[in-house]
Amino acid sequence: MAEKLVAGIAQSSNPGQLEDALCDTPSVNCDKLAVITKDSPTTEHEESIVTFMHVGQGHTTTDAPHDVITGSTGILTSLDPQVPNISSDNRYIGFFAEPHIIDHLADWPIPQDQIQNYNDAIEAGRSVVTYKATPDEAPGVEQTFRDAGLRNVKTFETQKK
């Protein structure tokens, strides 16, 4: 059965607010939520039942190394596949170039314009909330995201391998 990724933009990455809005609903298992933010990690983030991925923080990955270059407007990857040790995977431009985020989103064919929307939201201080769902779960998760006030809620299907 193909997995789906439901994603939306939250106004903040406050763990308490996100837990209150999303975790007390029957259609969302908070163990499957991941929030991508540029906020620095806090004790509240670390103790949350929701997983937080903080861009710009050092993380190890389970796949090939992805060296990143930090710039004033985010994190960039090289588009030149001839440069050693730099990702040539241009699906993940900006914040999505962060290694642990690439690991989290690697199987998802997210269109470039949507990646840019999510990166712009992160840069502006909002966060991207993701949920890996079964096909049966996805509609309920989408509705819960919308009811919680998340914007630009979309569902993506895993790539065929």
* Distance in angstroms between the alpha carbons of the first and the last residue of the chain: 13
Residue 11 φ then ψ, to 5°? -70, -20
Q: Of 28, 26, 16, 86, nearest to 8 (Cα)?
A: 28
Question: Which two tokens mark 94?
Answer: 């900006």
What is the full per-residue pLDDT of the chain (161 aa) written as tens digits?
678 999 999 999 999 999 999 998 899 999 999 998 888 889 999 999 998 888 865 444 444 443 443 333 333 333 444 444 444 444 444 566 665 565 556 567 788 788 888 888 888 889 999 999 999 999 999 999 999 999 999 999 876 55
DSSP single-letter state for residue 41: P
Contact 141, 131 (CB under 8 A): yes
Structural element, H or E, at residue 161: none
Measured between alpha carbons, how far is 20 from 56 in angstroms, rounded to an integer?
27
Measured between alpha carbons, how far is 9 from 7 in angstroms, rounded to an integer?
7
Q: Going by C-beta distance under 8 Å and a sequence separation of 6 or more, which residues neighbour residue 150?
A: 8, 9, 10, 129
Q: Going by C-beta distance under 8 Å and a sequence separation of 6 or more, which residues neighbour residue 105?
A: 5, 92, 96, 130
Model pTM score: 0.73
Q: Where are the domains of the chain?
A: 4-58+100-157
